[in-house]
């Protein structure tokens, strides 16, 4: 008889043969920075996650450093929105100002900047809109300006999340031309038009004012197309490729990670966080165990980087294990 249970008899032996371990170094923590002063607002659908103004950000940064988290993903929420999302490429914009502050205070903390126009446009779409259609090529130009402006502010990683065609190549060229040859591109390569982004859109005030994002984000049913998107981003110069959301798309991550010899990131998105939080608050699940199980599954499926709102708690829990 094969006695598989032999290796399960104690925690010590289980630990010895354990195949997958998440490390604090794998975790990237998203933060929301809002233009203004003295702001700390909890996002109602995301308990424990806040919008901070830059002058109140230190409290959050200190928690991040104390937890031993090495990387963050920053989202800016500007006071002024317009048709072309101009605050996204204003060198003095809210995101740029926050990044300068963070890099001054904690130069070693890796700062990734999400690059997209939806937080900055009055209509809430991820690009320039003409006749209700998001114009790809005109948007690319603005994404390039935004990327260069964020790199200039000190961002270590530029993370385009808009799903326009050709943006990785265009951004790489713009960064290089401006001397940012070492600025990393982490591409949201296979980003699906998912219902799991709901709470984020409340957090970032970025819901589309008409229609949806299905003409640029991917159809959730498509796997082969996801692989083509990932391949194209690698060819265009992405340093890190991402699959998003995480849990319902681990099959995509797994398949891609088997094919492409690249660092993969996975985004454990807002709706995934909210579901865990809500069930935990009801006393229906054990939050710590669920979170550790989820992030272990993401790593096992092939992710090196796990972007998660649970990062600070998870860092603590991983230590206790
Ligand atoms: C911006 C962007 C979104 C998310 C990350 N970058 C929202 C969207 O595409 O509507 C979602 C993150 C989350 O749900 O946690 N385009
Ligand atoms: Zn967007």
Active site residue 66: no
pLDDT of residue 131: 92
Q: How many domains does the chain have?
A: 1
HSE toward the beta carbon, residue 293, CA cutoff 13 A: 7
The pLDDT value given to residue 228: 98
Dihedral, 275, 281, 282, 288 alpha carbons, nearest 10:
80
User: 119 CA to middle of ligand 2, Å?
Assistant: 7
Torsion angles phi and psi, residue 43, rounded to 5: -85, 120
Q: Can you tell me which residue has the tokens 């992030």?
A: 295
The CB of 295 under 6 Å from ligand 1? The reply is: no
Ligand nearest to the CA of 29: 1
Q: Give buried/exposed letters for 228-265 (b at 16+ CB in 10 A, else e).
A: ebbebbbebebbbbbbbbbbebbebbbbbbeebebbbb
Question: Using one digit for the tens of pLDDT, what is the confidence trace for 107-161?
Answer: 999 999 999 999 999 999 999 999 999 999 999 999 999 999 999 999 999 999 9
Q: Over 90: is that where the pLDDT of 34 sits?
A: yes
Is 254 among the domain residues? yes
Q: 7 in a domain, yes or no?
A: no
pLDDT at 315 over 90: yes
Structure tokens at 159: 């993370």
Q: Percent of the chain at pLDDT above 70?
A: 100
Asked if pLDDT for residue 255 goes beyond 90, the answer is yes
pLDDT interval class at 321 (50, 70, 90): confident
- Please answer whether residues 187 and 160 qualify as being in contact, where contact means their C-beta atoms are separated by less than 8 angstroms: yes
Mean pLDDT, range 257-267, rounded to an integer: 98
Q: Work out the pLDDT band at 80, boundaries 50, 70, 90.
A: very high
Average pLDDT over residues 223-252: 98
Report if residue 15 sits inside a domain.
no
Q: Does ligand 1 lie within 6 Å of residue 272's CB atom?
A: no
- Alpha-carbon distance of 191 to 266, in angstroms, equals 10
> pTM to 2 decimals?
0.98
Write out the two tokens for 197: 């982004």
Query: Is 78 a domain residue?
Result: yes
Question: Number of helices and strands (H, E) in the chain?
Answer: 11, 12
* Secondary structure percentages of the chain, helix, strand, coil, to 5: 45, 20, 35
Cross-strand pairs, 159: 114
Catalytic pick from 34, 81, 84, 191? 191
Give residues whose Cβ lies within 5 Å of ion ligand 2.
116, 118, 126
Which ligand is nearest the CA of 114, by number?
1
Q: Is residue 5 part of a domain?
A: no
Tell me how far apart the terminal alpha carbons of the chain are, to the nearest angstrom.
32
Band of pLDDT at residue 199, cut at 50, 70 and 90: very high
From the CB of 117, is ligand 1 less than 6 Å away?
no
Residue 10 covered by a domain: no
On whether residue 3 sits in a domain, the answer given is no
Here the CATH number for the domain that contains residue 85 is 3.20.20.70
CA of 216 to the centre of ligand 2 (A): 10
| pLDDT reported for residue 124 | 96
Q: What is the mean pLDDT of the chain?
A: 97
270 Cβ closer than 6 Å to some ligand 1 atom: yes
Distance 15 CA to ligand 2 centre (A): 41
**Domain of 205?**
20-320
Q: What is the pLDDT of residue 258?
A: 98
13 falls within a domain: no
Nearest residue (CA) to ligand 1, atom 6: 161
The pair of structure tokens assigned to 173 is: 């060229």
Ligand 1 neighbour 197 (Cβ under 6 A) = yes
Ligand 1 center from residue 127 Cα (angstroms): 14
Going from the Cα of 64 to the center of ligand 1, the distance in angstroms, rounded, reads 21
The pLDDT > 90 percentage for the chain reads 98
CB under 8 Å to 303, separation ≥6 — which residues? 26, 243, 246, 253, 257, 264, 265, 266
Rounded to whole angstroms, how far apart are CA atoms 145 and 86?
A: 10
Atom 10 (ligand 1): residue with closest C-alpha? Answer: 197
Using the atom order of ligand 1, give the atom closest to the CA of residue 208: 10
pLDDT, tens digit, for every residue of 97-110? 999 999 999 999 99
In sequence order, the 6+-apart residues with CB closer than 8 A to the CB of 281 are 47
Is the omega angle on the peptide bond into residue 7 within 30 degrees of 0, that is, cis?
A: no
């Amino acid at each position: 008889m094969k006695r598989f249970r032999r290796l399960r008899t104690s925690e010590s032996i289980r630990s010895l043969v354990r195949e997958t371990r998440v490390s604090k170094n794998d975790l990237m923590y998203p933060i929301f920075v809002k233009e203004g002063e003295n702001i700390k607002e909890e996002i109602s659908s995301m308990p424990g996650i806040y919008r901070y103004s830059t002058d109140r950000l230190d409290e959050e940064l200190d928690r991040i450093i104390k937890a031993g988290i090495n990387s963050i993903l920053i989202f800016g929420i500007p006071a002024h929105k317009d048709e072309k999302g101009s605050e996204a490429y204003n060198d003095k914009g809210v995101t740029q100002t926050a990044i300068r502050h963070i890099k001054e205070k904690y130069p070693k903390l890796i700062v990734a900047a999400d690059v997209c126009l939806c937080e900055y446009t009055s209509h809430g779409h991820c690009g320039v809109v003409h006749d209700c259609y998001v114009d790809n090529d005109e948007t690319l130009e603005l994404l390039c300006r935004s990327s260069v402006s964020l790199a200039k502010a000190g961002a270590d990683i530029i993370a385009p999340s808009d799903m326009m065609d050709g943006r990785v190549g265009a951004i790489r060229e713009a960064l290089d031309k401006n001397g940012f040859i070492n600025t990393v591109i982490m591409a949201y390569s296979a980003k699906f038009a998912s219902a799991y982004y709901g709470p984020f859109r409340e957090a970032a005030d970025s819901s589309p004012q008409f229609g949806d994002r299905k003409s640029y984000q991917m159809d959730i049913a498509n796997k082969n197309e996801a692989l083509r998107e990932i391949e194209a981003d690698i060819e265009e110069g992405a340093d890190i490729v991402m699959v998003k959301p995480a849990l319902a798309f681990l099959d995509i991550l797994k398949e891609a990670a088997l094919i492409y010899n690249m660092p993969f990131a996975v985004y454990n998105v807002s709706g995934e966080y909210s579901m865990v939080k809500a069930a935990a608050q009801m006393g229906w699940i054990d939050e710590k165990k669920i979170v550790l199980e989820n992030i272990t599954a993401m790593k096992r499926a092939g992710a090196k980087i796990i972007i998660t709102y649970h990062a600070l708690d998870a860092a603590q829990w991983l230590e206790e294990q």
